[in-house]
Amino acid sequence: MSDFTPLSLLTQRTVQRAVADDRRRMARDLHDGLAQDLAFISLESRRLAERGEEVGGDLAEAADRALREVRNAIEHLAQMSEKPLHEAVTETAAELTARSNATLEVDVDPRVELAPEPRENLLRIVREAVFNGLRHGSATKVAVKLSRGPELQLSVADNGDGFDPAAPQRTGSFGLVSMSERAHSLGGKLRLRSEPGGGTNVEVLLP
């Protein structure tokens, strides 16, 4: 006779799904936050090494940002940020573009606001889209737009190298999957337009 009744099997599967979901969420959070600063440290270290220079202040600042990211994540568990969404979106994009000396254009409707969970997911998408354009596309200009019509619409466009969305992703690449999963978890959809040499536009539509 089996040790599991139908009810206990259902409970076990529910727990397994919850654990899997938590692991994926943790992977997204680590990738979208801490991993990006660590990737910056690695990239700049290689550049400095190629020029024969010693590790400088920029890398120390990046390490500090990574540490602050961890502390902010812990604090976030206790209390969500009270900063208006339009300010949070602007500051998220500005921090990354300033680091790369890129130009930023922002058109964000200050009347747009979200509940804590979708707000956090939207900010993570902004961060990922901007970071990808700067790091992988070598963009020098990024434009972020957030508006509310029949749907909430977020657009992050850059003038970077672009790529073929139909081409196989690099091994270990999680950015596009992360953004898509976040949009879908909010009942929305993500549209990606890009081509080699033509920049990239990430658009998110939420009900």
> Where do the structural domains in the chain lie, given as residue ranges?
83-207
What is the tens place of the pLDDT at every residue in 105-133?
999 999 998 887 788 889 889 989 998 89
Residue 100 pLDDT: 86
Closest CA to 152 of 122, 116, 127, 195: 122
pLDDT at 3: 47
What are the residue ranges in the chain where pLDDT is below 70?
1-36, 38-39, 42, 45-46, 49-50, 52-82, 169-174
Contact 122, 154 (CB under 8 A): yes
- Beta strand extents in 27-174 (DSSP E only): 103-108, 141-148, 152-158
Biggest distance spanned by C-alpha atoms of the chain? 70
**CATH number for the domain running over 83-207:** 3.30.565.10
12, 111, 149, 177 from 82: Cα distances, Å: 37, 15, 24, 28
Residue type, 183: A
Q: How much of the chain is helix, strand and coil, in % rounded to 5?
A: 55, 15, 30
Q: What is the pLDDT of residues 166-194, one digit of tens each?
A: 877 654 456 788 888 889 999 999 999 99
Q: What pTM value is reported for the model?
A: 0.64
